[in-house]
Amino acid sequence: MIITLKKNTPKEEAQKIISAIEKKGLHVTVIEGTNYNVYGVVGDTTVLDEKAISANPFVDNVTRIAAPYKKANRLFHPDDSIIDVAGIKVGGQEDIVVIGGPCSVEDRLSLLELAKDVKQAGGCMLRGGAYKPRTSPYAFQGMGTTGIEWMCEAREQYGLPIVSELMSIDKMDEFEEHVDLIQVGARNMQNFDLLKVLGKSKKPVLLKRGLANTIEEWIMSAEYIMAGGNENVILCERGIRTFEKYTRNTLDLSVIPIIKQKSHLPIIIDPSHATGDWKLVESMSLAAIAAGADGLIIEVHNNPESAWSDGAQSLKPDKFKAVIEKGRQIAHVIGRGM
Amino acid sequence: MIITLKKNTPKEEAQKIISAIEKKGLHVTVIEGTNYNVYGVVGDTTVLDEKAISANPFVDNVTRIAAPYKKANRLFHPDDSIIDVAGIKVGGQEDIVVIGGPCSVEDRLSLLELAKDVKQAGGCMLRGGAYKPRTSPYAFQGMGTTGIEWMCEAREQYGLPIVSELMSIDKMDEFEEHVDLIQVGARNMQNFDLLKVLGKSKKPVLLKRGLANTIEEWIMSAEYIMAGGNENVILCERGIRTFEKYTRNTLDLSVIPIIKQKSHLPIIIDPSHATGDWKLVESMSLAAIAAGADGLIIEVHNNPESAWSDGAQSLKPDKFKAVIEKGRQIAHVIGRGM
Amino acid sequence: MIITLKKNTPKEEAQKIISAIEKKGLHVTVIEGTNYNVYGVVGDTTVLDEKAISANPFVDNVTRIAAPYKKANRLFHPDDSIIDVAGIKVGGQEDIVVIGGPCSVEDRLSLLELAKDVKQAGGCMLRGGAYKPRTSPYAFQGMGTTGIEWMCEAREQYGLPIVSELMSIDKMDEFEEHVDLIQVGARNMQNFDLLKVLGKSKKPVLLKRGLANTIEEWIMSAEYIMAGGNENVILCERGIRTFEKYTRNTLDLSVIPIIKQKSHLPIIIDPSHATGDWKLVESMSLAAIAAGADGLIIEVHNNPESAWSDGAQSLKPDKFKAVIEKGRQIAHVIGRGM
Amino acid sequence: MIITLKKNTPKEEAQKIISAIEKKGLHVTVIEGTNYNVYGVVGDTTVLDEKAISANPFVDNVTRIAAPYKKANRLFHPDDSIIDVAGIKVGGQEDIVVIGGPCSVEDRLSLLELAKDVKQAGGCMLRGGAYKPRTSPYAFQGMGTTGIEWMCEAREQYGLPIVSELMSIDKMDEFEEHVDLIQVGARNMQNFDLLKVLGKSKKPVLLKRGLANTIEEWIMSAEYIMAGGNENVILCERGIRTFEKYTRNTLDLSVIPIIKQKSHLPIIIDPSHATGDWKLVESMSLAAIAAGADGLIIEVHNNPESAWSDGAQSLKPDKFKAVIEKGRQIAHVIGRGM
């Protein structure tokens, strides 16, 4: 960490700052500049709060050199983490996983039919929202517990582990018991109380990136879960908010190589929410695979026109199958199974 | 609502869409265009889900004409709402309120001292965080219940209603019992389960705007609370994320006249979090008053250099007093008390 | 175009608006809503200025249904445009083109050597900046005319058409005479006088997307050039500004399928400027090909460490060759040559 | 400037980097960290190009401590710059200036009438666009030279200095001869060739902030003009692009105290373009004055409904007068004339 003090800082004030830092077990070195004095802080700087330091009126600027995360940091954990989701391995050189299913679970029969289609197309997990984060209080809010029960039934029948979004700490027991991969949605990426509760679980967590969050903030949210004791975190990019109007969000595929540089956690891509348009899902899926993603999570629906939410972004099962088949060939080129 | 169908849409497909909408009690009129056919939907369109309609492959575009909110909408509630916070009126032509206090509650004595300073300077409520949303799991997470107790003690001694942030539904009872104005932080603006719980309370809610949310989304979050039965919502602008690096966030003061056009709810401004720099707080406070804000919420600290969080943005009590005094004169020019 | 009038609009005021539009040869149909009246405008709405219409105090909202561009619009030109750059075809089902070269031309010998490397690796055009848009007036501003001369020499020796950025209308004659593909940089995407001058040329133009511009604005800039008479426009995505700090810009690969939907113009990708980091260039190049790009423009340098600008994002020639070889296999999977 | 090298950097590689910097007359000090080595560079770092340094594969990160601008920097020029526009002083403790006029000049008589209104209302300069940057090639592009001639006639009749936008270097002579304050529009803020030409002029320049540019980039554009020899630069904030849809842009009033901290140049505010809505202009104008702006530039039109561009954001003259009158009282509170 680099702390810049104004040139006119009295010696005793500078000394106070240095002492406070050294008390926490860190070392400080000074460089005298023309217009500023610069202090280099050496040691485990995750214990320092840059905002608190900036509060000092003599401090001009505080810059972190080392990343503020430890457990999620590739630097201290050089090997890829491989996360086990009910027997399916995600990350490292494991096969690329494809998760398919409806945005929200709507009725039992069509869910079971869809699970069969996902399975036959080559999907390896079933997604489905039972609790839905909706911008409007007047929109469909999800089937709740019933939805989770139908998901469990589909799992039993087709052997697909299930993925569903947890929105609130009071449903944690239900998810702990029934769901194989617990999704944290984009709007809850910084719902720190939810992250803390997940940190006490052993269930794998699919952590979506927030709509306007940086990669560093996203990894810090993973760090929350890991710091609590649960290291089974899979990151999921689902598009960020930009000024573009022709897509719902902007899919940021550069996160794939970046996450692999900065962290050891697996990274999967959600092209459906990112684009909001099924016509873009195939090209973005293939691009994600070419860029090195560890998996895809894709919305599939038998009858998108009559879906209760997000039908516009859902693939029909035959199209989903086609994406997997083409994707497998791309995976082959970059030396990966799928 | 305006629905645009592609020119080549078969008549029976168009008819299906029209019927589905008419079944919900709305009227549909068609305009035949050169390259598109346009359907105008008349009636209470809050019952329609534009995403579901967009899912139809023949639909090119769906545009809302009327706002998606009802209870928070000025159109259906032309008079200003005035919210009563433990006897203090906020909104309409009531006096501009000033809320002061530390970012986070740290120790009992300095909180009590600060409460006295806030009171003497002319502040009318005391803010103080007991539960803190922190990006890092390694940062100070707040004093919790003890912090709330100290806040209550300060209220008793100085007669200032207290404002504090609720982060999780499991603390709702504590806040319902002790806190006068329950704050929802920017990161929880779309924590819909939290909003639903607040909708069942009668306590006034201070709803902060999310870091990258539009005004419409913000009002929709107010609508969540109001739809649950609690109409005591005060909106609070605290800066949005932009590309600018010289300020922590960008304070959007144009929300003041916009909120007054679109909604009847009061709007107050937080210049401390918006700028992240105490040196900008005075000018932004005066600007907010000149623009017609119903109140200010300002961080005040006796010893900002040693604050445990966000010291850089805290005013010392004498500076806080100076802001109120100058602000009162500006308020006078625009015909408002303070 | 849909125009929404406030419910209380006097009939004669509404009639004035209708008449003004009908005078321009368009038709207007009215839909009476509950809180608004909606007017549908049918015909060539590119002649209408929505801002001028919005100025009327009775107008609540104006929404375009049809895109504001004509010549660049796929709707009126269903076949892919194929642009000829000194004999090399770009777009449609033609082979994917790869353009390589230094960010800025620095010295004659290393440029010639690099041109040889680009050629041998499988590149089909040579890029090189002679005029450089630099944020600081104190930074290297480019070799100017000398740089263009060296580029011409390299073209002569290795048969590679050359690509270079035009920053100002007073160099148009020089570029018209010497450069095969004239680049418009991101910062000049809305330099309308430059676009107008290029509209009078016959030389192909490589139009980069602005840092914070929407796809619609980008296509409108292409429309400027095409409206002037020059239909030889190739679009180039080079990353947009977002809040992310781990990459210089955020590469938006969803533009590839979007551009192919909305327009008939070719689209190529610049992974070097988009990421600002050579370590991300391979994965983003492969992703671009998988997503259907018509070409890549990549920075290559023999000695990136000592480059005068943007060395951090330059590939060494052997790495560049490796990207082309892997890319060719991906292209094969999606049925395209390279 | 702080340069961070990876821990495994060979000594001779580190030495190369140090030598290259020392050759430019700067000093380098090293701090050995746990995972990185940090080099502090002392001296005039504006001569260093951080991108070039980052290109070195052993460099992890480069951070500027001192601002990259010199001539515009308050640090080296502590007194406020006061710019003289044809006898009217802008900046420092001078009276707040108000510039009024139409977005674009449309016809002679209404311009003359409007100039009279601006003068009578208390405006001290006349604005009017003769060359217009329009997103669409099919929109009205301005009256050109005729527009400038009418502006000159209005100046002669009412004694108001004139402000107009220069879009292209080939009109520089016309502007040098006729225009008192040459405006650089938001889209041309980084049209570096235009900035260089203005640097050779002596005419004052009104430099608008780009739609998505940081304050640092904006000051660097001022630096371009100043480095060329023309120190008569006035900065103008006109709103930045954000995700908000209820306003055209988001007016960033925090630039006012920031610019006054970082630079000595005057700063004026354009509430008309920022909001795109005349109903927001009064509140934003008063807020700008309360925040310490050196001036306002406001669109005024006698008949906004029939304006050829941007009518929606224009005030009628009587409303303009009312803003000035209220503004004067706010100015008085903060100790400034107007």
pLDDT per residue as tens digits for the range D73-87: 998 999 999 999 999
* Domain identity same for A30 and A148: no
User: Counting every residue, how long is chain B?
Assistant: 338
Residue D68 lies in a domain: no
Contact D138 C314 (CB under 8 A): no
To test the contact with chain A by mutation, choose from D3, D26, D38 the residue with the greatest count of A C-beta atoms within 10 A, namely D38
Residue A123 has pLDDT above 70, yes or no: yes
Per-residue pLDDT at C11 = 87
The C-alpha atoms of residue C50 and residue D136 are separated, in whole angstroms, by 11
Q: How far is A258 from chain D (nearest CA, A)?
A: 14
Residue C69 lies in a domain: no
* Domain identity same for A55 and A122: no
Residue C205 lies in a domain: yes
Residue A8 lies in a domain: yes
3-class DSSP assignment, residue A280 = helix
Instruction: Tell me how many degrees the CA angle B122-B124-B130 measures, rounded to the nearest 5.
Output: 120
**Torsional sign, CA B124, B130, B131, B133:** positive
Structure tokens belonging to residue C45: 């709405």
Per-residue pLDDT at A211 = 95
Kindly identify which residue of chain C lies nearest to residue A257, measuring between CA atoms: C280
How many helices (H) and strands (E) chain B has is answered by: 11, 14
Mapped to the 3 state alphabet, what secondary structure does chain C carry?
CEEEEECCCCHHHHHHHHHHHHHCCCEEEEEECCCEEEEEEECCHHHCCHHHHHCCCCEEEEECCCCCCCCCEHHHCCCCCCEEECCEEECCCCCCEEEEECCECCCHHHHHHHHHHHHHHCCCEEECECCCCCCCCCCCCCCCHHHHHHHHHHHHHHCCCEEEECCCHHHHHHHHHHCCEEEECHHHCCCHHHHHHHHCCCCCEEEECCCCCCHHHHHHHHHHHHHCCCCCEEEEECCECCCCCCCCCECECCHHHHHHHHECCCEEECHHHHHCCHHHHHHHHHHHHHCCCCEEEEEECCCHHHCCCCHHHCECHHHHHHHHHHHHHHHHHCCCCC
* Domain identity same for B29 and B176: no
How large is the greatest C-alpha to C-alpha distance in chain B, in angstroms?
75
| Domain stops at, among C40, C63, C86 | C63
Instruction: Tell me how many degrees the CA angle B107-B110-B114 measures, rounded to the nearest 5.
Output: 130
What is the pLDDT averaged over residues B193-214?
97
Residue D316 has pLDDT above 90, yes or no: yes
* Domain identity same for C113 and C143: yes
Residue D52 has pLDDT above 80, yes or no: no
Note the ipTM here: 0.93
Contact A307 B135 (CB under 8 A): no
Per-residue pLDDT at C88 = 98
What's the whole-number average pLDDT of chain B?
Answer: 93
Residue A27 has pLDDT above 90, yes or no: no
Contact D33 A44 (CB under 8 A): no
Q: How far is D283 from chain B (nearest CA, A)?
A: 5
Contact at 8 Å (CB) between B3 and B64? no
pLDDT < 70 regions, chain C: 306-311
H helices within A184-316, ranges in order? 192-199, 215-227, 255-262, 271-275, 281-291
Instruction: Provide, as residue numbers in chain D, all residues whose Cβ is less than 8 Å from the Cβ of A33.
Output: 40, 42, 65-66
Q: Mention every residue, 6+ apart, whose C-beta is less than 8 A from residue A332.
A: none
Per-residue pLDDT at D51 = 76
- Amino acid letter, D80: D
Contact D190 C135 (CB under 8 A): yes
**Torsional sign, CA B275, B279, B283, B288:** positive
The C-alpha atoms of residue B161 and residue B98 are separated, in whole angstroms, by 12
Residue D214 has pLDDT above 80, yes or no: yes
Instruction: Provide, as residue numbers in chain D, all residues whose Cβ is less than 8 Å from the Cβ of C241.
Output: 212
Number of domains in chain A: 2
Per-residue pLDDT at B38 = 82
Per-residue pLDDT at A182 = 98
* Domain identity same for B134 and B227: yes
Burial class, C174, CB count within 10 angstroms (exposed 0-12 / middle 13-18 / buried 19+): middle
Per-residue pLDDT at A249 = 96
Residue D69 lies in a domain: no
* Domain identity same for D108 and D51: no
* Domain identity same for C191 and C120: yes
Contact at 8 Å (CB) between B249 and B260? no
Q: Mean pLDDT check: name the lowest of A66-70, A95-99, A195-199, A305-309.
A: A305-309
Contact at 8 Å (CB) between C197 and D169? no
Residue A307 has pLDDT above 70, yes or no: no
Residue B34 has pLDDT above 80, yes or no: no
Residue A304 has pLDDT above 80, yes or no: no
Contact at 8 Å (CB) between A250 and C249? no
Contact C213 A261 (CB under 8 A): no
The C-alpha atoms of residue A244 and residue C90 are separated, in whole angstroms, by 26
**Minimal Cβ distance to C31: which of B32, B40, B66:** B40
Residue C42 lies in a domain: yes
Check residue A310 and report its DSSP letter. -
Enclosing domain of residue D12: 2-63
What is the pLDDT averaged over residues A237-247?
96
Per-residue pLDDT at D306 = 67
- Model confidence at B240, pLDDT cuts 50, 70, 90, reads very high
pTM of the model: 0.94
Instruction: Provide, as residue numbers in chain B, all residues whose Cβ is less than 8 Å from the Cβ of A245.
Output: none
Residue B188 has pLDDT above 70, yes or no: yes
Contact D61 A61 (CB under 8 A): no
Kindly identify which residue of chain D lies nearest to residue A28, measuring between CA atoms: D31
In this complex, the chains that touch C, judged by 3 or more CB pairs closer than 8 A, are A, B, D
In this complex, the chains that touch A, judged by 3 or more CB pairs closer than 8 A, are B, C, D
Kindly identify which residue of chain C lies nearest to residue B249, measuring between CA atoms: C243
Query: How many CB pairs lie under 8 A apart between chains A and B?
Result: 123
Look at residues D258, D226, C240, C19 and name the one whose alpha carbon lies nearest to residue D237: D258
Contact D65 A32 (CB under 8 A): no
**Residue A31 maps to which CATH number?**
3.30.70.1140
Residue D306 lies in a domain: yes
Instruction: Provide, as residue numbers in chain C, all residues whose Cβ is less than 8 Å from the Cβ of D229.
Output: none
To test the contact with chain C by mutation, choose from A283, A315, A323, A338 the residue with the greatest count of C C-beta atoms within 10 A, namely A283
Contact A57 B212 (CB under 8 A): no
Q: How far is B235 from chain C (nearest CA, A)?
A: 24
Contact B289 D290 (CB under 8 A): yes
Q: How far is C147 from chain A (nearest CA, A)?
A: 32
Determine the distance from the C-alpha atom of residue D58 to the mean position of all C-alpha atoms in its chain, rounded to a whole number: 38
Contact D245 B216 (CB under 8 A): yes
| Domain stops at, among B41, B63, B85 | B63
The C-alpha atoms of residue D154 and residue D123 are separated, in whole angstroms, by 13
The C-alpha atoms of residue D297 and residue D317 are separated, in whole angstroms, by 14
Structure tokens belonging to residue D308: 């050829």
**Minimal Cβ distance to B290: which of D243, D254, D287:** D287
**pLDDT tens, residue by residue, B10-22:** 888 888 888 888 9
- Classify the phi-psi angles of D195: left when phi > 0, otherwise alpha if psi is within -120 to 50, otherwise beta: alpha
To test the contact with chain D by mutation, choose from B283, B284, B294, B296 the residue with the greatest count of D C-beta atoms within 10 A, namely B283
* Domain identity same for D161 and D51: no
Determine the distance from the C-alpha atom of residue A210 to the mean position of all C-alpha atoms in its chain, rounded to a whole number: 8
* Domain identity same for B113 and B178: yes
Residue B309 has pLDDT above 80, yes or no: no
* Domain identity same for C229 and C285: yes
Per-residue pLDDT at D46 = 81
* Domain identity same for D212 and D313: yes
**Torsional sign, CA C307, C309, C312, C316:** negative
**Residue A235 maps to which CATH number?**
3.20.20.70
* Domain identity same for D143 and D264: yes
**Torsional sign, CA D17, D22, D24, D26:** positive
Contact B192 A68 (CB under 8 A): no
| Domain stops at, among A13, A35, A63 | A63
Residue A170 lies in a domain: yes
Contact B51 A188 (CB under 8 A): no
